Structure 1
Amino acid sequence: MTDTSDSIKETKIVPFEMGNKRFDQIAAELFADFSRSRIQTWIKEGRLTVDGQTKKTKDKLVGGETLLLDAVLEQEERWQAEPIELDVVYQDDDIIVLNKPAGLVVHPGAGTPSGTVLNGLLHRYPELASVPRAGIVHRLDKDTTGLMVVARNLQAQTKLSAQLQDRSMGREYTAICMGTMTGGGVVDAPIDRHPKHRTKMAVAPEGMGRDSVTHYRVEQRFRNHTLVRCKLETGRTHQIRVHLSHIGYPLVGDPLYAGRSRLPKGVTAEVLKALKDFKRQALHAGYLELVHPASDELMNWEADLPDDLQQLLDVMYAELELYGSGDDF
Structure 2
Amino acid sequence: MNQNKRKPISNKAKSTKSTEYVVSEPMGLLEFLRVSLPNQARNKVKAHLTHREVSVDGVVTTKYDYLLKKGQVVKIDRSGKPQQASASDFLEIIYEDNDFIVINKPAGLLSIATDTEKVATAYHLLTEYVKQKDAENRIFVVHRLDRDTSGVLMVAKNEEIKYALQDHWDELVIFRGYIALVEGQLEEKEGQITSWLKETKTHFVYSSDKNGDGQKAVTNYKVLQESANLSMLEVKLETGRKNQIRVHMQDLGHPIIGDKKYGSHVNPIRRLGLHAHKLEFIHPITKQKVSFLAPIPRKFKAILKQS
Contact persistence 1:278–1:308 (CA under 8 A): yes
Taking structure 1 as reference, are residues 152 and 190 closer, same or farther at Cα in structure 2, changes over 3 Å only?
Answer: same
Give 1:277 deviation, angstroms: 4.0
Superimposed CA distance per residue, residues 168-203 of structure 1 (whole angstroms, 9 cap, x where no aligned partner):
3411001111121122111111112136xx132111
Alignment-derived partner of residue 283 in structure 1: 274
- 2-structure distance, mates of 1:137, 1:82: 23
User: Which amino acid is the alignment partner of residue 141 of structure 1?
Assistant: D
Q: Does 1:95 align with 2:100?
A: yes
Unpaired segments ≥5 residues, structure 1? 1-80, 262-274, 317-329
Contact persistence 1:121–1:128 (CA under 8 A): no
User: Which amino acid is the alignment partner of residue 301 of structure 1?
Assistant: F
- 2-structure distance, mates of 1:178, 1:284: 16
Superimposed CA distance per residue, residues 64-116 of structure 1 (whole angstroms, 9 cap, x where no aligned partner):
xxxxxxxxxxxxxxxxx953422111011111111101110000012222210
Q: Does 1:299 align with 2:290?
A: yes
Paired residue for 1:156, among 158, 161, 171? 161
Partner of 2:262, secondary structure, is coil
Q: Does 1:170 align with 2:175?
A: yes
Contact persistence 2:177–2:236 (CA under 8 A): yes
- 2-structure distance, mates of 1:229, 1:162: 27
Name the stretch that deviates more: 293-302 or 92-101: 293-302
List 4+ stretches of structure 1 deviating above 6 A.
Answer: 127-130
Contact persistence 2:118–2:124 (CA under 8 A): no
Paired residue for 1:203, among 183, 202, 207? 207
Give 1:208 deviation, angstroms: 2.0
Contact persistence 2:268–2:303 (CA under 8 A): no
Q: TM-score, with normalisation over the residues of structure 1?
A: 0.61
Q: Does 1:244 align with 2:249?
A: yes
Question: How many residue pairs are counted as aligned between the two chains?
Answer: 218
Taking structure 1 as reference, are residues 118 and 276 closer, same or farther at Cα in structure 2, changes over 3 Å only?
Answer: closer
- 1-structure distance, mates of 2:304, 2:228: 12
Alignment-derived partner of residue 83 in structure 1: 86
Superimposed CA distance per residue, residues 286-315 of structure 1 (whole angstroms, 9 cap, x where no aligned partner):
111011222111011221122322321332
Paired residue for 1:230, among 195, 217, 235? 235
Q: CA RMSD in A?
A: 2.2
Paired residue for 1:311, among 283, 289, 302? 302
Give 1:138 deviation, angstroms: 0.7
Superimposed CA distance per residue, residues 258-300 of structure 1 (whole angstroms, 9 cap, x where no aligned partner):
25x2xxxxxxxxxxxxx65422221111111011222111011
- 2-structure distance, mates of 1:145, 1:129: 29
Name the stretch that deviates more: 229-238 or 106-115: 106-115
User: Which amino acid is the alignment partner of residue 216 of structure 2?
Assistant: D
Paired residue for 1:110, among 90, 106, 115? 115
Alignment-derived partner of residue 187 in structure 1: 193
Partner of 2:260, secondary structure, is coil
Give 1:130 deviation, angstroms: 6.7
Contact persistence 2:102–2:152 (CA under 8 A): yes
The within-5 A match list for 1:62-77 is none
Superimposed CA distance per residue, residues 35-67 of structure 1 (whole angstroms, 9 cap, x where no aligned partner):
xxxxxxxxxxxxxxxxxxxxxxxxxxxxxxxxx
- 1-structure distance, mates of 2:135, 2:262: 35
Partner of 2:295, secondary structure, is coil
Q: Does 1:122 align with 2:100?
A: no
Taking structure 1 as reference, are residues 137 and 128 closer, same or farther at Cα in structure 2, changes over 3 Å only?
Answer: farther
- 1-structure distance, mates of 2:252, 2:172: 23
Superimposed CA distance per residue, residues 110-138 of structure 1 (whole angstroms, 9 cap, x where no aligned partner):
2222210010011011269775xx31111
Partner of 1:147, secondary structure, is strand
Contact persistence 1:167–1:234 (CA under 8 A): no
- 2-structure distance, mates of 1:239, 1:148: 17
Contact persistence 1:97–1:149 (CA under 8 A): yes
Contact persistence 2:258–2:268 (CA under 8 A): no
Contact persistence 1:218–1:227 (CA under 8 A): yes
Identity of aligned residues (%): 30
**Larger % of helix: which?**
1
